[in-house]
């Protein structure tokens, strides 16, 4: 099976712009989660989608949003970018019936100037 695929891998934006990141989960996985990784903060949970519905949401401002399509592919959007949004954004998928293991993509490295 192909792994979790994230695009783009790297991108540079300026403050005030918006960005959309894409994630294709492992075939058959219906749950997609998004995490933000910054130095010293570890992986911070953004949100999880299952069957096109948001299941869980972390403590991030409303500028961070996401959605999931009928084919389980997911996108996350960050509007009005701030310097502090510079981070590695990781997408992970899992078998909805399991309780644990997440399969991560390689991430999208966002730099905000």
Partner 1 sequence: DQQVKQNSPSLSVQEGRISILNCDYTNSMFDYFLWYKKYPAEGPTFLISISSIKDKNEDGRFTVFLNKSAKHLSLHIVPSQPGDSAVYFCAAGTGANNLFFGTGTRLTVIP
30 makes contact with partner 1 (CB under 8 A): no
- By CB under 8 A, residue 35 contacts partner 1: yes
Q: Is 107 in the site for partner 1 (CB under 8 A)?
A: yes
Going by C-alpha positions, the residue among 71, 18, 26 that lies closest to residue 6 is 26
d(CA 97, CA 87) in angstroms, rounded, equals 30
First to last CA, the chain: 37
Q: Which of 33, 68, 72, 74 binds partner 1 (CB under 8 A)?
A: 33
**Where in 38-97 is the site for partner 1 (CB under 8 A)?**
40-45, 48, 55-56, 58, 90, 92, 96-97
CB of 92 to partner 1, least distance (A): 8
| Of 14, 17, 54, 51, residue with least CA distance to 34 | 54
Q: How far is the CB of 85 from partner 1 (least distance, A)?
A: 19
| Closer to partner 1 by Cβ: residue 42 or 62 | 42
Least Å from the CB of residue 73 to partner 1: 17
- Cross-strand pairs, 5: 24
CB-facing half-sphere around the CA of 73: CA atoms within 13 A: 8
Strand partners, 31: 50, 94
| Positions in the binding site for partner 1 (CB under 8 A) | 4, 33, 35, 40-45, 48, 55-56, 58, 90, 92, 96-107
């Amino acid at each position: 099976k192909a792994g979790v695929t994230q695009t783009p891998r790297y991108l540079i934006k300026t403050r005030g712009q918006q960005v959309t990141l894409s994630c294709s989960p492992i075939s058959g996985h219906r749950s997609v989660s998004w995490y933000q990784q910054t130095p010293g903060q570890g992986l911070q949970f953004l949100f999880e989608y299952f069957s096109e519905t948001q299941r869980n949401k972390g403590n991030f401002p409303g500028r961070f949003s996401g959605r999931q399509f009928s084919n389980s592919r997911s996108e996350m959007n960050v509007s009005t970018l701030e310097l502090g949004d510079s981070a590695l954004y990781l997408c992970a998928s899992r078998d909805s019936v399991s309780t644990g293991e997440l399969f991560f993509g390689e991430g999208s490295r966002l730099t905000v100037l």
